[in-house]
Amino acid sequence: MVHGAGSFGHPQVLASRIHLGIREKRQLVSFAEVQSWQNLLNFIITREMQKREIPAIPIQPSAIAIVKKGKIIKMFTNVISQLLNIGMVPVLYGVPALDVEQKCSILSGDELVAYLAKELMASIVIHGTDVDGVFTKDPKRYPDARLIREITNENLQSVLQSLSESKFADVTGGMYSKIVRLVDVAKRGVKCLVVNAEKRETIYKALIGEKVLGSIINLSKS
């Protein structure tokens, strides 16, 4: 499982600009503070999962990954696969990470999902958001926004165009960036779904193969 930073990360990163690299000494403290906030959020999430008898175990991605401009160059994934093998649920999260070129960049949850899906040979990726999937417009701002039930090779470019025109207060690129990364995963034959995680049992139903409201990315391998 991978979760994002939300209000525990994006505002702080935007204020300190550490996602653009470390240019001043005072940013080093911001780097450390944002990491601490992410650790706290991860603790809250894993603790709630544990209360529900899910063996969720925190994994700090910045401790096992080498990053360059926000892209993973190499990541020690063996411990993750071994934890999965014994029945644990590793929980990773978006973090500021040591960057070999600019000292610090954001290792986003989206980047982690794309990388891990490939390395661990995932059969399905479920992206949970606060709306029912991918829309033609922001459904929270435009009542005429339409849900795109399926993203295919035929409509992919128009979908990406509509998403690139949207504005997000998100240092990791908002929905556009998420879909671009999921597209790369889907091209490898992995089933990718975007669903509303705020709706009760949606994630569970998707995991067990039941049909749920959302958007599916269905692309042929390239």
Tell me the percentage of the chain whose pLDDT exceeds 90.
68
Phi-psi region of 206 (alpha: psi -120 to 50; beta: other; left: phi over 0): alpha
Residue with tokens 């849900």: 147
pLDDT band at 39 (very low <50, low <70, confident <90, very high): very high
- Structural domain boundaries in the chain: 1-121, 123-222
**Which class does domain 123-222 fall in?**
alpha beta
171 exposure class (CB count in 10 Å sphere: 0-12, 13-18, 19+): buried
Sequence-distant (≥ 6) Cβ neighbours of residue 175 within 8 angstroms? 129, 134, 163, 166, 168
As a whole number, mean pLDDT of residues 115-142 equals: 91
Specify the pLDDT at position 177: 82
Could you give the maximum distance between any two Cα atoms of the chain, in Å?
51
Whether the CA torsion 196, 197, 199, 205 is positive or negative: it is positive
Task: Tell me the whole-structure pTM to 2 decimals.
Answer: 0.85
Contact 182, 192 (CB under 8 A): yes
The CATH number of domain 1-121 is 1.20.120.1760: no
**Pick from 101-110, 130-139, 156-165: least confident:** 156-165
Q: Do domains 1-121 and 123-222 have the same CATH topology?
A: yes
Q: 140-193 pLDDT, tens per residue?
A: 888 899 999 999 999 999 888 888 655 544 554 578 888 888 988 998 889 999
Specify the pLDDT at position 189: 87
